[in-house]
């Protein structure tokens, strides 16, 4: 059974990498590109490095001023994927 995690600290690093600290004191460096490279809500996050760096902790996860956020459990458990990914269709060749 997975324990639900919250993010308690986030530090933007180079590119789209971030150092995250979770409620269990685990610290991870995560490349956020796979999470922000799709979807219109993330357009300002991926298109403007200054906007990307405006991330803050809100309700236990990282969030941006436009309301974009990423589930902290997806960032903690690498085997999980955002729910929106399940609804995407693979393009036909």
pLDDT digit string (tens) for 22-48?
Answer: 999 999 999 999 999 989 999 999 999
* Predicted pLDDT of residue 86: 57
28 belongs to a structural domain: yes
Q: How many Å apart are CA 81 and CA 48, to the nearest integer? A: 24
Question: Is there a domain that residue 88 lies in?
Answer: no
Question: Is 87 within a domain?
Answer: no
CATH of the domain at 66: 3.30.2020.10
Look at the pTM and tell me if it is higher than 0.85. Answer: no
Q: Give the pLDDT score at 80.
A: 81
Q: Indicate whether 21 belongs to any domain.
A: yes
* 91 in any annotated domain: no
- When pLDDT is averaged across residues 60-70 and rounded to a whole number, the result is 96
Range of the domain at 18: 7-76
Q: Is the pLDDT of residue 9 over 90?
A: yes
C-alpha to C-alpha distance for 44 and 51, rounded to whole angstroms: 7
CB distance 9 to 28 below 8 Å? no
CA–CA dist 10, 13 (Å, integer): 9
Number of domains into which the chain is organized: 1
Give Cα separations from 55 to 2, 19, 33 (angstroms): 26, 12, 14
d(CA 85, CA 41): 14
């Amino acid at each position: 059974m997975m324990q639900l995690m919250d993010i308690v600290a986030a530090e933007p690093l180079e590119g789209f990498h971030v150092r995250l600290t979770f409620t269990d004191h685990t610290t991870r460096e995560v490349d956020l590109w796979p999470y922000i490279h799709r979807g219109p809500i993330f357009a300002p996050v991926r298109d403007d490095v200054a906007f990307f760096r405006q991330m803050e902790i809100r309700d236990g996860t990282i969030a941006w001023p436009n309301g974009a956020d990423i589930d902290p459990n997806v960032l903690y458990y690498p085997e999980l994927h955002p729910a929106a990914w399940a609804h995407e269709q693979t393009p036909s060749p």
